[in-house]
Structure 1
């Protein structure tokens, strides 16, 4: 599992640096204004899952799962609902990682 750092987007613009999605998943910071950007450069769609650790009245809260088409992009807001109580970070998995790049951006 690789740790992704947040990159702040400046008012004048920012060239965001991407990293390859890790086959064992990634972790990312959570909080207001943070978003996970996933760029799928592969020839097949993938699913990105952000684990929702917790329950509501004893019932598990569903994980966030986003399907990203081949050669497509997607964003998931990394709100505090995804905060792992042990690490304080979001846990992210991918159905495939070949040609998949990720970045966490902040307003």
Structure 2
């Protein structure tokens, strides 16, 4: 899984850079971290963020977000580490996409 570079939004303004979605990626978790997904395909698609957190010993459910077709645009977050950070590094969230055709993403932080 490739780590998407996190882009910090500056007070003076930031023009985010979007990359084509890959089947699976990782992003940096944090209370100020967000994933921006754009879908211009003719069908809706889903983004799944793998949950790693536990509540009373039970694994939390994965976060599944539907992005509408054609002009779909979703901001997902904040990406809380206690819910999404992987055990291998403690800071990266694993993300999969049901489709990557005409889907672009940006990992943003404020």
**TM-score, reference length from structure 1:** 0.93
- In the TM superposition, what is the alpha-carbon distance from 1:58 to its structure 2 partner? 2.9
- Is structure 2 residue 96 aligned with structure 1 residue 97? no
Deviation of the 1:39 alpha carbon: 0.5
Q: Which residue of 2 aligns with 1:49?
A: 48
Structure 2 runs not aligned, ≥5 long: none
Structure 2 CA distance, aligned partners of 1:94 and 1:5? 18
Among 81, 86, 89, which residue is 1:84 paired with? Answer: 86
Match of residue 40 from structure 1: 39
Report the CA distance between 1:75 and its aligned residue: 1.4
Residue equivalent to 2:8: 8
In the alignment, structure 1 segments of 5+ residues that lack a partner are none
1: CA distance, partners of 2:17 / 2:8? 11
1:62 match: 61
List per-residue Cα deviations over 1:3-62 (Å, max 9, x = no partner): 101101111211100111112x00010012110000111110000010101332232210
CA RMSD after TM alignment: 1.1
User: Runs (4+) of structure 1 moved beyond 3 Å?
Assistant: none
The answer to whether the aligner puts 1:106 opposite 2:109 as a matched pair is: yes
